[in-house]
Amino acid sequence: MTVNELIKKLDLAVLVEDDLDREVTDCYIGDLLSWVMGRAPEDSAWLTVMGNINSIAVATLADVSCIILVEDAALDADAKAKAEMHGVNILTTSQNSYQLAVALSALL
Amino acid sequence: MSSIHLHYDVSGEDFTRAGEASGLVKKRLKALGYNTDAIRRVAIAMYEAEINMVIHADGGFVDIDIYPDKVEILLSDRGPGIPDVDKAMQAGFSTAPDNVRNLGFGAGMGLPNIKKYTDDMKIDTELGVGTKLYLTVRVNEA
């Protein structure tokens, strides 16, 4: 499943677009950045409400396929700029993590 | 054994720039062809340590030596020092201020994460003088 397919099937909006052909093989949910950084599997879709600049660093270091901001959580302007610079896909949805993860699990 | 040496300054003023040095090291290791597990462990340990330096010590320096079989990282700061290292090593223990917690850090996972992701970790700390953190990540064949 690619990020692009995920966007279409889960009806996600795109906030930052980089490589949407990137594969998504897993899913991880969490908002504590230190926790996420150490545990999120590579190539996963990371579901979070943290849209600050440090989230971008964590996404880059953990090498996730995309960040999905759930429940319409805000993306800070400096975080958006950093995501564009480092090539991090960022998507958004009004659904909460549980709802989205349930839908996502049927696709993976 | 020959090595590649890298040196970075970590700014203490700008919390949002933490992670730049670890990002650059990650790229460098990737270009050198190191395996992804080792790269990930180096990057996570370094980022956590950088964040620690920004939160607690007003910045510092990172020196990295890249060998074929290991990566050595030295993080030095002139911060306040760690009064109780055993306590700081406990998962969940944190002295980070609220503004840091609001950003998703300060969960008391920093040093435990660093220990988890490195093969060797040594802390030299003196109150009022600063802290030196010596880390080694061994590179196993991919």
Buried b (16+ CB within 10 A) or exposed e, B8-24: bebbbeebbbbbbbbbe
Cα A45 from Cα A30, distance rounded (Å): 11
List alpha helices for chain A, DSSP H: 3-10, 33-39, 53-62, 77-86, 97-105
pLDDT surpasses 60 at B142: no
Question: Which domains are present in chain B?
Answer: 4-138 (3.30.565.10)
Could you tell me the residue ranges of all domains in chain A? 3-105
- Tell me if chain A has a CB within 8 Å of the CB of B8: no
Residues in chain B with CB shorter than 8 Å from the CB of A42 are 36, 40
Q: How far is CA A60 from the centre of its chain?
A: 11
How far is the CA of B22 from the CAs of A62, B51, B99, in angstroms?
Answer: 12, 10, 23
- Tell me if chain A has a CB within 8 Å of the CB of B43: yes
| Assigned token pair, B31 | 């270009």
Cα B141 from Cα B92, distance rounded (Å): 33
Task: Kindly state the DSSP code that residue A12 receives in the 8-state scheme.
Answer: P
Smallest CA-to-CA distance from B131 within B113, B117, B111, B116 is with B111
Q: pLDDT band at residue B141, thresholds of 50, 70 and 90?
A: low
Cα A30 from Cα A9, distance rounded (Å): 22
Q: Which pLDDT does position B1 carry in this prediction?
A: 60
- Tell me if chain B has a CB within 8 Å of the CB of A5: no
% of chain A at pLDDT higher than 90: 84
Contacts of B122 (CB under 8 A, 6+ apart): B133, B134
Q: Which pLDDT does position B23 carry in this prediction?
A: 86
Average pLDDT value for chain A? 95
What is the nearest CA distance from B40 to chain A, expressed in angstroms?
7
Q: pLDDT band at residue B99, thresholds of 50, 70 and 90?
A: confident
Q: Rg (Cα) of chain B, in Å, rounded?
A: 15
Tell me the helices (H) and strands (E) count for chain A, helix number first. 5, 5
What is the nearest CA distance from A47 to chain B, expressed in angstroms?
14
- Tell me if chain B has a CB within 8 Å of the CB of A49: no
% of chain A at pLDDT higher than 70: 100
Q: Which pLDDT does position B140 carry in this prediction?
A: 74
Q: Which pLDDT does position B74 carry in this prediction?
A: 97
Q: Which one has a higher pLDDT value, A32 or B134?
A: B134
Domain A3-105 has CATH 3.40.1390.20: yes
- Tell me if chain A has a CB within 8 Å of the CB of B40: yes
